[in-house]
Each structure stands twice: as structure tokens, then as C-alpha cells.
């Protein structure tokens, strides 16, 4: 039964990613949204997903899984993000994603220590630096409400929104460091980017709700911007209920954990403490997951991560399965209610195009910075040179590769080139 749970989770998560419904990597959600809006090709989306997630799988998810008898969910779902987005979204690609996702999860369960060691034999192991590609995305993404406000209302209001979001982020950092929020002896860690993002969204919606609609423009944009985004999540609620049930059940069986803290507590046999720690973490991440879901129309396969709490506090696996399905169903319904409320205001509806433009601009900058940082870690000096040249030549050529993909694709290229140069003896291994 344990094997069945893990294989089904991998298969279903890969299908959700393949269908552009849900991805686990927070930074990938807005990028999948760009693909849905037609601004990013499928091939470029797949390469970006690989660049952003593979280093995290090898450098973060799998090592935790190997060192304990419990799977860290990141090792499965970051991998299925890549599998789902690299495989084509068609009548044969989606089933293929399910098969590969299931096999990948099975491989994790039986152990992938040899897989990790394989990359250590490369002259230049560039997979760990590749994790830097996605590092700026979530941090930068929190600034998109400020840019949207500046584009729609005024630069002054945009600057005000940006300053408040930055202040909120630093306040969250201060509260985390001081350890003021405690539940059952466990300190609640607020996600600082999530808090900044929610503060910026509040300002954006506040300005938009106050905006008067010109009579001439009253019928121009009647689309329910946010409801349309969330409807894509809502119509697939059955998929979310299935994966929520499976993950909650697997968590109850102590097969997997949602974060390293609860994983270590479970390894020590402290299931109640692990549940409290998981709840504390979920509270901190709700703003980030909810706001990105409403803005992008792409959810997380673990929702607000409350399904881990449901699994850990359930008396048996079947109640955990039921609780997981109910919890994630309620989450999706809550998102729908929030989106419908926002769409009642014409100013909020009219902000849709500005939100899309702001997200695109910020993602272009974030992924270029991330790609440059990763490239320079792989090959100091040469990395920055290559990314700068690659970006400028791409612009001169009329942008055959969209700006958003230049950083990730360039970082992969630098990793391959660095290994070739070392093998040819014209470059020393970076220390």
C-alpha cells in the first residue's frame, strides 16, 4: 500500500503540472501563467522548469530523503514539476508524464543515492548552482503589485506600495528572528515574501476598488479577471482532492513530510510535535500560496500545506485520506470566494492587463538575474560574460528566445560549456 500511495502521488502531480493546473515550485507558478497567456512557449517553459527545480531536487530534496526513512515532499514534487512541464501537453504527452512521474516516485522510494553521486563525477557539478536560477523569482515577484499600481494609477502610489511591501517584509524577518509567534512551543515562521506580497496586493486592490469607471469604458472589460483565473483551479478541484487525499494518507503512514523540520521530528517519533510544526509553517505560507493562485490561476499540488497537518493529526490512514480531500476542497472554495469578491469592483477588473504586464516585466528581470548568478557560480567571470552576451545577441536577433527564458537557458548552456572546457584542459575546475 505504501508503494501505491507514493507512485500515485508522483503520477498525479506530474499530470497536474503537465496540464498547467498546479506546480509545487512557488517561483514557477507565475511562469506557467505566462505560458497559459501565450507569452512563453512550451519548450522554453520546460527548460525554465528544469533550470529552476533540478538543482533543488538534487541538492535539497533528495539528500533529506536519503538521510531519513521519510520522503521530503520537495524531492517528489519538484521533480514532477520538471517531468510534467517538459513532456508535451497532448493525448500521449499527459499519460507519458503520469508514467514517468510514477516511476520517478518509485525510484525515490527505493533510493536514489547513486543518482545523486552520479553528478558528483562531473568535472564541474553545475546542478547545485542551478538552484540559484529560481532564487530571485519569489523575492522579486513580491514587487509586482507595486509595479501594477504604478502602471495603472500613479508612480507615487506605486512607490508607496513598494515601500510598504518592503517594510512588511522586513517586519516579518524581524518577527521571525525574535521568535514572538509561538504555538505549542513551536515558533511560527512567517514567509516574508508572502507577507510583502499580500501587503502589496491589499494596496493594489484598495486603489482599484476606489477607482471610478467611465461610462464609455463600462462595457469594455467585463471579464471577471480573478474569477477566470481561479475558475481554472476550481474546475479541477477533483484532481486537487485526489492528490490532497493521497498526500494526507501518505503523511499519516509516516511515508513523507512537508518540510525538513517536521521530517526530523517524525524521524525521532514525535508525530504530535511534527503536526504542530507543520501547522505553524502552513500559517506562514498561506498568504504566498493564496495570492499567487488568485493572480496566476496556477495552484500548488499541496495547497496551503494544511493537508500535511490533516494527515499527521488523523487517527488512521483512511480518515487522513478523507480529511486531506476535504481540506483542499475548502481551500479551493475559499479562493473562489475571494476572487468573486474582488471582481465586483470595475477598477479591479481593469487592473488585469497591468497585473499581467507587471508580472512579465518582473519575471524577465528575476530570471535574468538568477541565470546570471547561477552561471557565475558555475564559471566565475565567464558566467556573467556569457549571460550578458547571450541576452544582448538575443535582443539583436529579434528575440528568438523570449527574454524570460534567456537566464535559465543560458545557465544550462554555461554548465555544459564549462564541463567541455575542463575536459579540453582550457579551463580549471572552479573552486
CA proximity to 26, closest of 405, 285, 331: 285
CA proximity to 253, closest of 303, 312, 302: 312
Q: Which parts of the chain have pLDDT scores under 70?
A: 58-60, 63-69, 111-117, 184, 212-225, 280, 283-285, 287, 342-343, 346, 348-350, 352-353
CA proximity to 258, closest of 268, 247, 269, 273: 247
CA proximity to 341, closest of 236, 233, 230: 230
C-alpha grid cell, residue 23:
506546480
How much is the pLDDT for 373? 94
- Which residues pair with residue 187 across a beta bridge? 182
Residues sharing a CB contact under 8 Å with residue 337, sequence separation 6 or more, in sequence order: none
How much is the pLDDT for 419? 92
How much is the pLDDT for 328? 94
Q: Strands 182-183, 186-187: parallel, antiparallel or unpaired by DSSP?
A: antiparallel
How much is the pLDDT for 402? 76
98-151 pLDDT, tens digit per residue, is: 999 999 998 887 765 566 667 778 888 877 787 788 778 778 878 888 998 999
How much is the pLDDT for 221? 41
CA distance 132 to 52: 7
Average pLDDT, the chain: 84
Residues sharing a CB contact under 8 Å with residue 328, sequence separation 6 or more, in sequence order: 237, 240, 241, 243, 244, 303, 306, 307
Amino acid at each position: 500500500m505504501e508503494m501505491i500511495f507514493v507512485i500515485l502521488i508522483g503520477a498525479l502531480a506530474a499530470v497536474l503540472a503537465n496540464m498547467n493546473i498546479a506546480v509545487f515550485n512557488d517561483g514557477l507558478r507565475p511562469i506557467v501563467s505566462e505560458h497559459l497567456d501565450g507569452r512563453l512557449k512550451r519548450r522554453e517553459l520546460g527548460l525554465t522548469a528544469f533550470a529552476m527545480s533540478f538543482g533543488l531536487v538534487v541538492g535539497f530534496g533528495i539528500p533529506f530523503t536519503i538521510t531519513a526513512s521519510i520522503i521530503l515532499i520537495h524531492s517528489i514534487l519538484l521533480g514532477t514539476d520538471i517531468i510534467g512541464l517538459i513532456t508535451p501537453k497532448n493525448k500521449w504527452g499527459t499519460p507519458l508524464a503520469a508514467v514517468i512521474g510514477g516511476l520517478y516516485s518509485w525510484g525515490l522510494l527505493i533510493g536514489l543515492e547513486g543518482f545523486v553521486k552520479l553528478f558528483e563525477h562531473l568535472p564541474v557539478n553545475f546542478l547545485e548552482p542551478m538552484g540559484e536560477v529560481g532564487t530571485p523569482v519569489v523575492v522579486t515577484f513580491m514587487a509586482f503589485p507595486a509595479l501594477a499600481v504604478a502602471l495603472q494609477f500613479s508612480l507615487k502610489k506605486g512607490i508607496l506600495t513598494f515601500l510598504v511591501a518592503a517594510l512588511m517584509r522586513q517586519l516579518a524577518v524581524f518577527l521571525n528572528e525574535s521568535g514572538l509567534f509561538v504555538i505549542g512551543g513551536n515558533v511560527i515562521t512567517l514567509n516574508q515574501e508572502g507577507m510583502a506580497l499580500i501587503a502589496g496586493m491589499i494596496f493594489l486592490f484598495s486603489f482599484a476598488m476606489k477607482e471610478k469607471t467611465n461610462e464609455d469604458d463600462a462595457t469594455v472589460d467585463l471579464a471577471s479577471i480573478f474569477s477566470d483565473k481561479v475558475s481554472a483551479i476550481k474546475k479541477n478541484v477533483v484532481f486537487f482532492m485526489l492528490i490532497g487525499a493521497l498526500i494526507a494518507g501518505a503523511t499519516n503512514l509516516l511515508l513523507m513530510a512537508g518540510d525538513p523540520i517536521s521530517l526530523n521530528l517524525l524521524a525521532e517519533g514525535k508525530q504530535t510535535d511534527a503536526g504542530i510544526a507543520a501547522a505553524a509553517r502552513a500559517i506562514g505560507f498561506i498568504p504566498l500560496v493564496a495570492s499567487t493562485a488568485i493572480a496566476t490561476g496556477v495552484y500548488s499540488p499541496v495547497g496551503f500545506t494544511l493537508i500535511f497537518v490533516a494527515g499527521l493529526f488523523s487517527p488512521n490512514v483512511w480518515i487522513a485520506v478523507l480529511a486531506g480531500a476535504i481540506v483542499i476542497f475548502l481551500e479551493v472554495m475559499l479562493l473562489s470566494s475571494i476572487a468573486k469578491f474582488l471582481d465586483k469592483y470595475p477598477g479591479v477588473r481593469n487592473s488585469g492587463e497591468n497585473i499581467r504586464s507587471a508580472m512579465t516585466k518582473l519575471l524577465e528581470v528575476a530570471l535574468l538575474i538568477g541565470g546570471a548568478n547561477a552561471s557565475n557560480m558555475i564559471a566565475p567571470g565567464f558566467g556573467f560574460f556569457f549571460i550578458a552576451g547571450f541576452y544582448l545577441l538575443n535582443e539583436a536577433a529579434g528575440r528568438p528566445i523570449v527574454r524570460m527564458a534567456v537566464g535559465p537557458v543560458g545557465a544550462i548552456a554555461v554548465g555544459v560549456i564549462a564541463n567541455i572546457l575542463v575536459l579540453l584542459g582550457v579551463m580549471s575546475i572552479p573552486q
